[in-house]
Amino acid sequence: MSAFSAVEVIATKRDGAVLSDEMITWVLDAYRRGEVADEQMSALLMAIFFNGLSAAELATWTDQMIASGERLDLTGLSRPTVDKHSTGGVGDKISLILAPLVAACGAAVPQLSGRGLGYTGGTLDKLESIPGWRANLSGDEIRQQLESVGAVICAAGAGLVPVDAKLYSLRDVTATVESIPLIASSIMSKKIAEGTGALVLDVKVGRGAFIKDVERARELARTMVGLGAAHGVATVAKLSAMDAPLGRAVGNALEVAESVEVLRGAGPSDVRALTLELATIMVELAGLGVDPAAKLDDGSAHEVYRRMIRAQGGNPDAALPLAKVSELVMAPRAGYVRDVDARAVGIAAWRLGAGRTRKEDPVSFAAGVTCLVAQGDVVEDGQPLFELHADDDSHLELGRDAIAGAVVIGDEADVEVPTDLGLIRG
C-alpha cells in the first residue's frame, strides 16, 4: 500500500499548500519507478509552475533528486575542484576555454555538460565536431583525467540524477521549463551530485537567453546559490547580458575554432573578458593564488586544452568540418549598428542546421553564423553583416529567412548597454 496517491500530492500543490518531505520523497521515487504516470507528474509540475515551492520544499525536492542516483566521488584528488555552469546563450562557448584555463591555474574542473536544444547550443555538440572526441566517460576515467590533465568536459552518466532526465523531458513538452524552483533544482542537483567543491554560475539574461528579465534572473541566481551553500558547495553567481551574440561564431565547429583562437591569445575581446572574469572567481573559490590572464597569455591553457581533447580520443590538430554552402548577408544601408539581436542569430544558426528541435535529432557540425559586425560599428551600404554556413541550399534558405532583421542600422550610434549585471554570493 502506498503512503500517498499521486492525486493527493497534485491536489495539495494545486491548492497552494505545502508538500511535506514525505510527499516529495514518495512522488519523486514513485515517478522514477514508473508508479506515477507522466500525465500525473505533468499536473504536479504545472501546479509547481503556478504556486512555486517554499525554501523547505525546494531543499527536499533537490535532495531527493540527488538521492535518485549515483554521486561522483572526487575526494582524494591532488587538486581542489571547481566547476562552472552557464544557463546558456547564443555563441556561449566559454566552457571550452574556461575549463582548461582554470586547470592550468592548478584546479580540477569536472564539467559535466549537455547538448543543445532549440537556439542555444550545447557544449557536447560543439566538442563532437572534433574528429574522434568522445563525450561518454566512466567515473574512473573522469577521476583519472582530472588528476592527470586537470579538466574534463563530458556527458553526465545515466546514473547521475536519473529522475532529472525524466522530469526535464516532461517539462520541455508541458511548458513548465521556466519555473525557477524547477530550473534551480535541475541544475543544482546535477552539480552537487558531480562532487565539485565550488561552483560558479553564469546566469544569462536577455533576448538570447533562457530568462529575459533581470529580476527573474537574480531570483534564479539567489535560489541556486542558496542550494549550493546548503550542500556545502561554495557557490557564486554572475549575471551577464545576452542581448547580443557572444563573440562572432555561432555554431558547433565555428565556436570550437573561435575558442582555440582565444586560447592562442587572439579572438573576440568579449569572449576573452568574460572567460577571465569567470576564471578569476573560480581560482579564488579554489584557493589558488594564480593570475588566469597569465596562463591564457603564456600558452598554458591552450596546452591543457590540447591534452584534454587527446585524453578523450580527439585530435586537436584535425581539420574541423566545413559547410558545403555559404552566403553573405549584406547591409541594406549605411549607418551605425545599433543592435544585433542574439535570438534572431541563434534561431538562424538553428535553422541552418546547428541546433535541434528534439533531443534525438542530429546536428550539423559545420552549420552556423559568423557575425561580421557588432553594436557600435559603422557600416557601408552593401557591407557584409553575417556569413551563413549550411550543408545544403534548403537549410541556407531557412537561415536566410530567420536572420532577416537581426541587425538594426541607424543614423546615430547607440548607447552601449552594460554586459556585467553583478555577482551574487552565498
- Beta-carbon count within 10 A of 380 CB: 10
- pLDDT above 70 (res 1): no
In CATH terms, the fold of domain 6-52 is: 1.20.970
Instruction: State the architecture of 83-318 in CATH terms.
Output: 3-Layer(aba) Sandwich (3.40)
- pLDDT above 80 (res 177): yes
Fold agreement (6-52, 325-410): no
Between CA 262 and CA 202 the distance in angstroms is 19
CB of 25 within 8 A of CB of 64? yes
Classify residue 81 by its DSSP letter: B
The overall average pLDDT reported for the chain is 94
Between CA 152 and CA 147 the distance in angstroms is 10
CA-based R_g, the chain, Å? 22
% of the chain with per-residue pLDDT over 90: 87
Provide the pLDDT confidence category of residue 165 given band limits of 50, 70 and 90: confident
User: 73-77, 255-259, 362-366: which has the highest mean pLDDT?
Assistant: 255-259
pLDDT digit string, tens, across residues 218-233: 999 999 999 999 999 9
pLDDT digit string, tens, across residues 240-294: 999 999 999 999 999 999 999 999 999 999 999 999 999 999 999 999 999 999 9
The predicted pLDDT at position 419 comes to: 67
- The gap from C-alpha 387 to its chain's centroid, in whole angstroms, comes to 24
Q: Residue 371's closest CA among 347, 399, 407?
A: 407
CB of 71 within 8 A of CB of 34? no
Between CA 332 and CA 274 the distance in angstroms is 32
CB of 354 within 8 A of CB of 121? yes
Every domain of the chain and the residues it spans: 6-52, 83-318, 325-410
CA dist 231 to 5, 158, 192, 196, 425, Å?
30, 22, 7, 11, 15
Q: Homologous superfamily of 325-410 in CATH?
A: Pyrimidine nucleoside phosphorylase-like, C-terminal domain (3.90.1170.30)
% of the chain with per-residue pLDDT over 70: 98
pLDDT digit string, tens, across residues 372-392: 999 999 999 999 999 999 999
CB of 312 within 8 A of CB of 141? no
The predicted pLDDT at position 117 comes to: 67
Q: Residue 33's closest CA among 74, 72, 64, 71?
A: 64
Candidate from 74-83, 123-132, 304-313, 351-360 with smallest mean pLDDT = 351-360
Active-site residue set: 85, 164, 171, 186, 190
- pLDDT above 70 (res 89): yes
3 state DSSP class of 239: strand
The predicted pLDDT at position 358 comes to: 74
